[in-house]
Amino acid sequence: MAQAMAHRVQRSRRRAIVNHGGLLLLFWILTAISIYPLIWLVLSSLKTSSEMFGNSWAFPEVWQWDNYVQAWNAGISRYLLSSVIVTLISTLLVVYLSAAAAYALVVLRFRGKAAIYALILGGLILPPEVALFPLFQTLTWLGIYNTYWALIIPYTAFGIPFATFLIRAYMVKIPIELSEAAAMDGAGPLWSFRNIYLPLCRPVLASAALIQSMRSWNEFIFALSFVESENVKTITIGMMSFANALRSDWSVLMAGLVISIIPVLLVFIVLQRQFIGGLTQGAVK
């Protein structure tokens, strides 16, 4: 009896190990599929073009750092700078404006609140593609086509609904007494927004900022349509021009791709936990 029992335990443990082993293998394969293309990208960017095709799996014979010099000289820095400017400003605007709106929606009392919230939230279901051509005309009419503002303003407008939703959900958990007490002391709404709510909301503001900066950084169709000059193009579209000019020089192209992902990659590696945590605050792709 005891023996049989021991047998069974052993068998189930063995099965657990087998299952575990199978799962482990499966996850290693998944991981390999996820990151091997990137490793291949980095390795290939350090090879000569012919080596890259002939000897795809091996390490470079001679590390071709020159590919990076060539890619850099082809003007990637301009695109990166544009992306940084556009991302930074649109993120600041989105976070600040959304926080202000969320504050009013949660704390202040005024008529039409529900309708206004619905109006802001409604922006979530309008895909940017739909507005493409009319928006393009509006920007032209405003005279900001082909400037940073042609990206910053639409990014801000399309980013506000989600950020407001996110921040509002956090603010409703803050006890209303806090601002009521401040109001009793004669503080205005602006004061209590800045000095009570903004500091308290720091975690959610950080998430909103992260989500918005990823959106702005990776945005494609507006960047493709609303700016034209090389020195205004963001990295997503800049890399298209870069690739078109270098179609036949693959290793340099790949070096350029690596350079273009280094900034985000660095931030991701350093702030892994915050990064994943922040991005999963709301499901936005």
Partner 1 sequence: MSSRIHRIVPYLFVLPPLILLAVFVYGPAFENVIFSLHSWSSINPDWEFVGLRNYRQLFANPVFWVSLSNNTLYAVISVIVQVFVALGIAAVLSAGIFRPRLNTFFRTSVFLPAILPVTVVGLLWQLIYQPSIGLIDQFLFSTGLGNLSRVWLGEEQTAIYAIILVSQWQWTGYMVALFMVAIAAIPTDLYEALEMEGATRIQQFRYVTLPGVRESTLIFTVITIFGAFKVFDIVWVMTAGGPNRASEVLGTHMYRSAFRDDVVGYSSAVATVIFVITICVGIVQLMLQRDE
Partner 2 sequence: MRHHRVTALAMITLFGSAAFSVALADTTINFLHKWPEPENMAYFEPAVEAFETANPDIDVEMEAVADEPYKDKIRVLMASRQVPDVFFSWSGEFGKNFARGGRAYDITDYVYDGEWEKVFPEAALQPFKFEGRLYGVPINVDAKFMLYNTSVFEEHGIEVPETFDDLLAVCATLNEAGVVPINFGNQFPWAASHYIGEIIAKLVPNDVRTADYALTRPADELYTHTGYVEALTAFQQLNDEGCFNRGSNALTHPIARGSFLAGRGAMIYMQMVEFGRISGSPIDESGWDFFTLPAFSDGAGDPGIITGAPDGFMISSETENIDEAIQFLKFLTTPEQAKQYVDITGMTSSVKGAVTAENADERVLQGLKYLDAASGLALWLDTDMDARSTEVLLAGAQGIIGGTETPEGVMEEVRHTAKLVQQER
Give, as ranges, the residues between 29 and 88 that touch partner 2 (CB under 8 A). 74, 85
Q: Which of partner 1, partner 2, none sits in contact with 101, Cβ below 5 to 8 A by type? A: partner 1
Q: Which stretch binds partner 2 (CB under 8 A): 23-31, 207-215, 242-250, 263-271?
A: 242-250
- Identity of the residue, 108 or 172, whose beta carbon is nearer to partner 1 in the bound complex: 108
Instruction: Choose which of 10, 19, 77, 137 interacts with partner 2 (CB under 8 A).
Output: 137
What gap in Å lies between CA 106 and CA 103, rounded to an integer? 5
What are the two backbone dihedrals, phi and then psi, of residue 22, each rounded to the nearest 5 degrees? -60, -45
Q: Evaluate the CA torsion angle 15, 19, 21, 22 in order and state its sign.
A: positive
Which residues in 148-187 contact partner 2 (CB under 8 A)?
A: 148
What gap in Å lies between CA 151 and CA 155, rounded to an integer? 6
- Identity of the residue, 91 or 281, whose beta carbon is nearer to partner 2 in the bound complex: 91
Residues 6+ apart with CB under 8 A from 236: 83, 217, 218, 219, 220, 223
Least distance (Å) between residue 276 CB and partner 1: 5
Instruction: Choose which of 40, 42, 104, 136 interacts with partner 2 (CB under 8 A).
Output: 136
Q: In this structure, are residues 137 and 96 in contact, taking their beta carbons and an 8 Å threshold?
A: no
Contacts 24+ apart (CB under 8 A), 91-96: 91/159, 91/209, 91/212, 91/213, 91/216, 93/152, 93/156, 94/155, 94/156, 94/159, 94/160, 94/163, 94/208, 94/209, 94/212, 95/163, 95/205, 95/208, 95/209, 95/212
The H or E element spanning position 104 is helix 77-106
Q: Which stretch binds partner 2 (CB under 8 A): 40-48, 109-117, 199-207, 241-249?
A: 241-249
Least distance (Å) between residue 77 CB and partner 2: 15
- Identity of the residue, 138 or 174, whose beta carbon is nearer to partner 2 in the bound complex: 138
- Identity of the residue, 66 or 191, whose beta carbon is nearer to partner 1 in the bound complex: 191
What gap in Å lies between CA 272 and CA 193, rounded to an integer? 30
Instruction: Choose which of 55, 72, 128, 146 interacts with partner 2 (CB under 8 A).
Output: 146
Q: Which of partner 2, partner 1, none sits in contact with 158, Cβ below 5 to 8 A by type? A: partner 1
Least distance (Å) between residue 267 CB and partner 1: 9
Residues that bind partner 2 (CB under 8 A): 74, 85, 89, 92, 136-137, 140, 145-146, 148, 225, 228-230, 240-241, 244-248
